[in-house]
Amino acid sequence: MKAVSTALAAAFLGVTLYAAADVSGTWEVEGTFDDGIEAGGFDCVIKQTSEKLTGDCSGGSAPLTGEVDGQKVVWRVGHSDNSAGVTTFSGTVDQSGRAIEGRFTAGSKSGSFRAGKQ
């Protein structure tokens, strides 16, 4: 009986550890290109449905799509019909669910970013 409850507890913990983080809300994103130039800051409003993300950034001027897998999040900002104009953000949500840190690519340039939930 104890082995069964231990196995159930381990299975439950495994499911909780891999549940998708909730990133719905408004995020303030700040970035720096690898060459040290500030990429500037902007807000993104993210809507999450299961593991899929939609929304927009910069006051609605740039559409956002993406996905969440556990604490890992990837989103793309820009119009998909113009791949050169799409910026991709890949990061990790912290344990509090209020910050994301990671890397971004914009065309041939890349850098690091931090986002804070508003």
Relative to beta strand 62-69, strand 25-33 is: unpaired
Query: What domains can be seen in the chain, in order of their start residue?
Result: 20-117 (2.40.128.120)
Q: pLDDT for 26-58, tens place per residue? A: 999 999 999 999 988 999 999 999 999 999 999
Mean pLDDT of 7-16: 44
CA distance 99 to 77: 18
